[in-house]
């Protein structure tokens, strides 16, 4: 069946791009045959090509949308349906358009639902059987993911467990795995679009590597702690079929996952379980590994069974709560000498214990106490930022773990003292002034923190506390505000203004401008 040939005409490049990307045109039997940035260009395309449907802006250079339709109708010879696209809700325009026989009259911004309804209204549709089949596949996948999430959260019923078992190839032992990013601090310096693109690339790479097991990947599942994390249900049969050990298979899988992305990928492998309804324990174990890796730099694949699990028979003799509590009190008192002595005493008590088991029962206990102390001092502090603080600035490669841990305890004591005094707010004013003067430069939290002697993670918390937004959003607001002023005071090109305020990508600049001001830069200048 021949596809419906569609012409899109608008003098705003961003609107044209948005219309092209708003829906999957092929899904509804359409093909974009051309685009035009003015009425005369649209007229020439209609006269030279067979255009079945033309969606045109009501106000364009050379010929307005209404003038274009009127000329085509008067000359005849073509069978094109017209839809008027406008940012003006004046009834007079609608009346004129209807008299010219347009199919519909849509107000900007056009939603996906409006466009789909329009295409259905004019009789454009895909083969019914294919549509129903695609719908059934999407429904099946959505149901499967929903049931898996219920199992991971320990809230599933027998029907859900059976459904997942029937629709996934899970044979033998299984694990839940968090596919996450190694250098989380680097994501803070990226735009949301850049982070989303990294996740998209990781998903594509994983799907290619997994083949028939690609449906075990859970990129669309909601409820994970971090947006950039991807869930994965692993079973031992995957490695056996490849003739590899679990560790060999997962390391190869990890390397494949991070192809063509600017950061390392890390796998957090939850505890091994043999039954589907026990996957909640594996999921919990994978989440616990987040804290463990805060103390372990340079790892790539972490296994709960190897690094965290402690048999009940050994647990009691390995817990040294009194020594850990003494260390907590020393941190609270901000006594550096006592902190060093407490760390030495704690490690002496544990000198015969397995290193990783020690982490699980003692260090994690101390870590949780530290997180709660920060929240007690300032309830607006985010726990994720505290963990970022731990992993970002504390550990120095080349030192043994005892020295790593001692450094952390000392630095964190300083951090709590800083939090109590709220001394960072004075530094924040200097940072704000610097941003106002240098917003067009490539500013990062890390560089600003070094410049004003404020921990970068703590500086990010201050922005959240004072403005309710991230540093990245604050910087965007400064840039867009400056751009808006330039638009009103000059007739310079939008692309030149975007570059001057710090945006190399004109499309990203326009999208941010619309997000903040509700319209494109050109419309903003015209309306004001």
Looking at per-residue pLDDT, the higher value among 458 and 525 belongs to: 525
CB 452 within 8 A of CB 432: no
Rounded to the nearest integer, the mean pLDDT of the chain is 79
Decide which of 1.10.240.10, 3.40.50.2300, 3.40.800.20, 3.30.360.10 is the CATH code for 4-121.
3.40.50.2300
CB 439 within 8 A of CB 478: yes
Distance CA 330, CA 350 (A): 19
CB 393 within 8 A of CB 457: yes
- 297-330 pLDDT, tens per residue? 567 888 887 766 545 444 445 556 677 788 888 8
Distance CA 220, CA 231 (A): 9
Distance CA 496, CA 476 (A): 17
CB 504 within 8 A of CB 516: no
Give the model's pLDDT for residue 463. 79
Q: What is the CATH number of domain 422-528?
A: 1.10.10.60
Beta-carbon contacts of 47 under 8 Å, excluding residues fewer than 6 positions away, are: 78
Looking at per-residue pLDDT, the higher value among 161 and 384 belongs to: 161
CB 139 within 8 A of CB 129: no
| Coarse DSSP helix, strand, coil percentages of the chain, rounded to the nearest 5 percent | 60, 10, 25
Beta-carbon contacts of 188 under 8 Å, excluding residues fewer than 6 positions away, are: 388, 445, 460, 470, 471, 472
Give the model's pLDDT for residue 8. 94
Radius of gyration of the chain (CA): 29
Which top CATH class is 142-307? alpha beta
Average pLDDT, stretch 451-456? 70
CB 202 within 8 A of CB 261: yes
- 252-289 pLDDT, tens per residue? 999 999 998 888 889 999 989 988 888 988 998 888 77
The reported pTM is 0.46
Looking at per-residue pLDDT, the higher value among 340 and 389 belongs to: 340
Average pLDDT, stretch 25-49? 90
CB 184 within 8 A of CB 388: yes
Give the model's pLDDT for residue 156. 86
Give the model's pLDDT for residue 497. 93
- 134-175 pLDDT, tens per residue? 667 777 888 888 889 889 888 888 888 998 988 888 878 999
Percentage with pLDDT > 70 across the chain: 77
Pairing of strands 265-269, 174-181: antiparallel
Phi/psi of residue 93, each to 5°?
A: -65, -45
Distance CA 417, CA 517 (A): 40
């Amino acid at each position: 069946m021949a596809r419906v040939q569609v012409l899109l005409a608008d003098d705003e490049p961003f609107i044209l791009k948005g219309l092209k990307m708003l829906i999957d045109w092929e899904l509804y039997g359409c093909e974009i045959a051309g685009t035009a940035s003015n009425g005369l260009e649209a007229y020439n395309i209609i006269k030279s090509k067979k255009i079945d449907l033309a969606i045109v802006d009501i106000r364009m250079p050379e010929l307005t949308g209404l003038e274009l339709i009127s000329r085509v109708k008067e000359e005849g010879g073509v069978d094109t349906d017209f839809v008027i696209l406008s940012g003006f809700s004046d009834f007079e325009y609608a009346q004129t358009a209807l008299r010219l026989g347009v199919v519909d009259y849509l107000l900007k911004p056009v939603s996906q639902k409006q466009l789909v309804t329009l295409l259905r209204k004019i009789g454009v549709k895909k083969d019914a059987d294919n549509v129903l089949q695609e719908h059934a596949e999407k429904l099946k996948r959505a149901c499967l993911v929903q049931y898996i999430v219920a199992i991971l959260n320990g809230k599933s019923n027998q029907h859900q467990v059976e459904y997942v078992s029937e629709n996934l190839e899970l044979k033998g032992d299984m694990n839940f795995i968090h596919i996450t990013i190694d250098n989380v601090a680097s994501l803070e310096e990226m735009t949301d679009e850049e982070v989303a693109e990294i996740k998209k690339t990781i998903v594509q790479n994983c799907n290619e590597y997994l083949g028939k097991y690609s449906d075990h990947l859970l990129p669309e599942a909601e409820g994970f702690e971090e947006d950039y994390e991807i869930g994965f249900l692993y079973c031992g049969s995957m490695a056996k079929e490849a003739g590899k050990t679990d560790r060999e298979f997962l390391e190869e899988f990890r390397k494949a996952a991070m192809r063509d992305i600017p950061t390392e990928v890390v796998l957090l492998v939850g505890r091994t379980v043999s039954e589907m309804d026990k996957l909640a324990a594996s999921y919990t174990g994978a989440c616990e590994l987040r804290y463990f890796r805060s103390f372990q730099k340079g790892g790539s694949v972490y296994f709960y069974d190897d690094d965290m699990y402690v048999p009940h028979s050994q647990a009691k003799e390995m817990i040294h709560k009194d020594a850990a509590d003494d260390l907590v009190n020393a941190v609270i008192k901000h006594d550096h000498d006592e902190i060093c002595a407490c760390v030495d005493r704690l490690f002496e008590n544990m000198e015969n214990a397995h290193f990783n088991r020690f982490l699980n029962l003692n260090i994690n206990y101390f870590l949780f106490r530290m997180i709660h102390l920060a929240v007690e001092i300032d309830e607006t502090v985010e726990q994720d930022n505290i963990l970022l603080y731990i992993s970002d600035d504390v550990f120095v490669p080349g030192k043994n773990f005892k020295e790593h841990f001692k450094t952390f305890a000392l630095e964190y004591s300083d951090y709590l003292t800083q939090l109590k005094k709220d001394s960072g707010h004075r530094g924040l004013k200097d940072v704000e002034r610097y941003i106002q003067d240098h917003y067009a430069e490539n500013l990062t939290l890390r560089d600003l923190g070094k410049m004003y002697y404020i921990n970068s993670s703590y500086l990010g918390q201050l922005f959240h506390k004072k403005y309710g937004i991230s540093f990245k959003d604050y910087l965007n607001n400064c840039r867009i505000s400056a751009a808006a002023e330039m638009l009103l005071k000059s007739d310079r090109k939008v692309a030149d203004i975007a570059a001057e305020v710090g945006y190399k990508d004109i499309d990203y600049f326009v999208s941010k401008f619309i997000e903040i001001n509700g319209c494109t830069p050109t419309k903003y200048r015209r309306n004001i």
